[in-house]
């Protein structure tokens, strides 16, 4: 009973930030981080700790924009910037998200095959697609948000997997906090992908829009049709929720890279196609105690399933929010299907195209790597826009960015821009 009450209280505190942080470690992200560890060992482990303050600052700024203005990122960009910028950003997000959806659905089906062998890949893919669409379109928002919060617990699978393997803890400590760089294309390409997978445009759109969906925000926004009034308590809760989500995300990222390095790289496995491949490779290589390999494989695969069920709706909905805001459609998961046909139509089409990618001969894994890198490049101008909006007193009023938030957001812009430029320079 006490555990149940504590869990319920924890879920009550958790909000868009926790869901966004968990969605950041989707199956495609798991594949990228596994490949990072397999290919470079502990060489890029430092990125998990290094990126935490930057992704926290950018996501907090995006969430604050949604909370203060009562509008999503695309709607604010539309109001204050040229349409060419708006539609260029939306096109990048839509293409990258759709490819991610396809790769995630395929990875989920492959992971499910590890847990329940014998069921055809196509059957699992269709089941997951249908279940995600039914939940996202027809479940009331309160209940759907609660499901997403429970799925965020799937992040625990990866720290638990780390503990199943004997680790060189002093080496991990040094690699976590001492940056290591290689000035070659392969290293910079993967690290740009890691940056793009960690700080992704779809996260900006999702968290900003979900702040508006929250019940507390609806009560504030709808009061006499007046502009939103944000209390200090609400803003403090927003920041705690956001930091908790980003910290959880980076702990999982760190854990996945560690598993890839300690198990795969150490045994000469340097190329991972999918996140399910990483899970499958663990079983014969983990021998800490009897059946440790099987347990590690099952934990890793379960995490892929849980986070995939969380991430696919986030990917499709974030694209739909952006398009609906640009087109002045009714939008929001709080609305029923008959009141938001366009919004739910984009969700359905993006998810179905992602499903089709798995059956028309396109290699979603190769496309995924390039999508991660594209995210890393596309995030740069978007972070610039978010920084400008969040620091603009005319838009944000008393809730404009302070010097610390501004510093980290603009540092993120500079670092991701430098990584992208360095990668292109090495081509």
Span 241-291, pLDDT tens digits: 999 999 999 999 999 999 989 988 888 888 777 777 888 888 888 877 788
Give 125-165 pLDDT, tens digit per residue.
Answer: 999 999 999 988 888 777 877 788 788 888 888 899 888 88
Q: How many residues does the chain have?
A: 427
pLDDT digits over 291-312, tens only? Answer: 888 888 898 888 888 888 888 9
- Whether 230 shows a pLDDT value over 50: the answer reads yes
Q: Which two tokens stand for residue 71?
A: 């509008």
Within 10 angstroms of residue 421's Cβ, the number of other Cβ atoms is 14
Between 140 and 427, residue with greater pLDDT:
140
CATH 1.20.1740.10 fits 2-425, yes or no: yes
Note the pLDDT of residue 217: 45
- Name the pLDDT band for 218 (thresholds 50, 70, 90): very low
Return the higher-pLDDT residue of 124 and 332: 124
CA distance 47 to 254: 8
Sequence-distant contacts of 87-90: CB under 8 A, at least 24 apart: 87/326, 89/201, 89/322, 89/378, 89/381, 89/382, 89/385, 90/319, 90/322, 90/323, 90/326
CB 398 within 8 A of CB 227: no
* Model pLDDT, residue 10: 53
Alpha carbon distance 400, 387 (integer Å): 10
Instruction: Tell me what the pLDDT averaged over the chain comes to.
Output: 84
pTM, two decimal places:
0.87
pLDDT digits (tens, 9 = 90+) for 186-202: 787 778 778 888 888 88
The separation between the first and the last C-alpha atoms of the chain, rounded to the nearest angstrom, is 59
């Amino acid at each position: 009973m006490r555990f149940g009450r504590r869990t319920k209280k924890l879920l009550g505190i958790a909000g868009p930030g926790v869901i966004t942080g968990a969605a950041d470690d989707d199956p495609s992200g798991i594949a990228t981080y596994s490949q990072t560890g397999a290919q470079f060992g502990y060489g890029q482990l430092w990125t998990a700790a290094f990126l935490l303050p930057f992704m926290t600052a950018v996501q907090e700024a995006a969430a604050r924009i949604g909370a203060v203005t009562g509008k999503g990122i695309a709607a604010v960009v539309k109001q204050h910037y040229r349409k060419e910028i708006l539609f260029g950003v939306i096109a990048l997000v839509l293409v990258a998200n759709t490819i991610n959806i396809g790769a995630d659905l395929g990875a989920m089906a492959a992971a499910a095959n590890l847990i329940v062998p014998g069921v055809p890949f196509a059957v699992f893919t269709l089941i997951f697609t249908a279940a995600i669409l039914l939940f996202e379109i027809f479940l009331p928002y309160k209940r759907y948000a609660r499901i997403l919060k429970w799925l965020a617990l799937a992040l625990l699978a990866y720290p638990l997997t780390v503990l199943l393997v004997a680790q060189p803890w002093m080496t991990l400590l040094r690699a976590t906090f001492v940056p290591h760089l290689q000035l070659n294309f392969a290293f910079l390409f993967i690290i740009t992908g890691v940056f793009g997978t960690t700080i992704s445009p779809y996260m900006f759109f999702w968290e900003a829009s979900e702040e508006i969906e929250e019940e507390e925000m609806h009560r504030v926004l709808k009061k006499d049709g007046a502009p939103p009034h944000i209390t200090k308590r609400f803003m403090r809760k927003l920041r705690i929720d956001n930091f908790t989500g980003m910290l959880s995300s980076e702990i999982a990222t760190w854990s996945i890279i560690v598993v890839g390095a300690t198990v795969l790289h150490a045994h000469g496995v340097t190329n991972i196609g999918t996140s399910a491949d990483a899970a499958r490779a663990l079983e014969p290589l983990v021998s800490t105690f009897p059946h440790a390999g099987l347990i590690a494989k099952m934990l890793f695969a379960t995490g892929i399933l849980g986070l995939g069920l969380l991430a696919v709706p986030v990917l499709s909905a974030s694209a739909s929010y952006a398009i609906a805001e640009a087109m002045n459609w009714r939008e929001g998961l709080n609305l029923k299907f008959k009141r938001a046909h366009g919004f739910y139509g984009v969700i359905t089409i993006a998810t179905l195209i992602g499903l089709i990618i798995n059956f028309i001969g396109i290699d979603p894994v190769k496309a995924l790597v390039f999508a991660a890198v594209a995210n890393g490049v596309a995030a740069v101008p978007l972070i610039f826009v978010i920084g400008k909006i969040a620091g603009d007193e005319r838009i944000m009023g008393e809730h404009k960015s302070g010097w610390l938030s501004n510093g980290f957001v603009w540092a993120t812009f500079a670092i991701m821009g430098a990584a992208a430029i360095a990668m292109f320079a090495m081509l």
